[in-house]
Structure 1
């Protein structure tokens, strides 16, 4: 643990370092300061430690002035010979308030509080990560295409709802969408692009040639070597079978 100590009394500093060595031998004291200005300068130039011990009453003023100049994000343990600062200490990110002379038992209790804080923070961060992932997924779902603008003769476009599309496929080198009426609409986008644009809960990339909607599926037939053939509920017959490879069959079953 990287510790920064702000203390202007040499005897108190020696005492704190000795008790730290006893209570937390793995602690590394990465810096020391005995004034407000020196503390600000050290924090600005050395980055944030993992814990700060801060004497409140310094020779050049109250240590609380440090917070007017720099933000301290790590936990803080305040030390002082006076108890009138307690309320103000807990308005910043203090985990404890130790009255001088500090003893080993008080310091052990302070580290126990720190351990509890860190463990709770870890769980909180995990929950925060989960929430952020959910938000990202929800935002992504909101951004999936719901309509396309299809050019028609002249200078017009007509909207085509994604909900009305049964499948996309490549025919004669061109990507086409087939709607519920069996009408085919040419697309300039590739199947790869369309796969990224559409909600994967609704459309499945069967193979390099077909991107199909769940509601278009009439039934599924077993094919050779563990492959599947998808039969669609459409008003015309396709030239090519929609074959899902053995490697992709499990993924399709899970999706469906």
Structure 2
């Protein structure tokens, strides 16, 4: 069996290698990857891996970010010191896991399970989507307040009071539930990364909309959607055909 280990702690990867060899000396460790970036690069090219052992927390992020960039169909066993919230997610998504410190008997059971497991045509990505959202919501701290300039003052604006963000002549603005507009000294991409994806959604290059601000959604030509919000937007909010399915799924979640 050819194995790839994704683990940023040398001691942990060495221990896992030792246990695997103890279980079966014929197991071949193809490589040890220590970051999200290196894993994306490795799995973006053809490889011989038959089983992957992957830690959740890596030096440069959460390992589930890998699956946003690469479609991995190789079976995966996750190694984690995570709490019961995450463990529940693993069970729901039918992906095996091992709690650290890894027990040799449990490791052997995981190997036996994946040897007997039939190939999933949907791939790992289909199983991963729900878990990725759960873990990111659990581990990431989202922006709660924006400090904005108004004349000679600095005013704190709570994100819960913002209906949508948009770009106007290169400037990002936030519109509140009270229909007041404030300039945000950031790129829209940076704002998007700071917001809770359960509440805010980037519908196109110009707009990020808050869930509760949506009044209705209307069908447009060529499979596009028009989103009407409160307070109303000066510019028409259009969701492309390519993003319409994802957007409707988000609204309906």
TM-score (norm 2): 0.48
TM-score (norm 1): 0.48
Higher-Rg member (1/2): 1
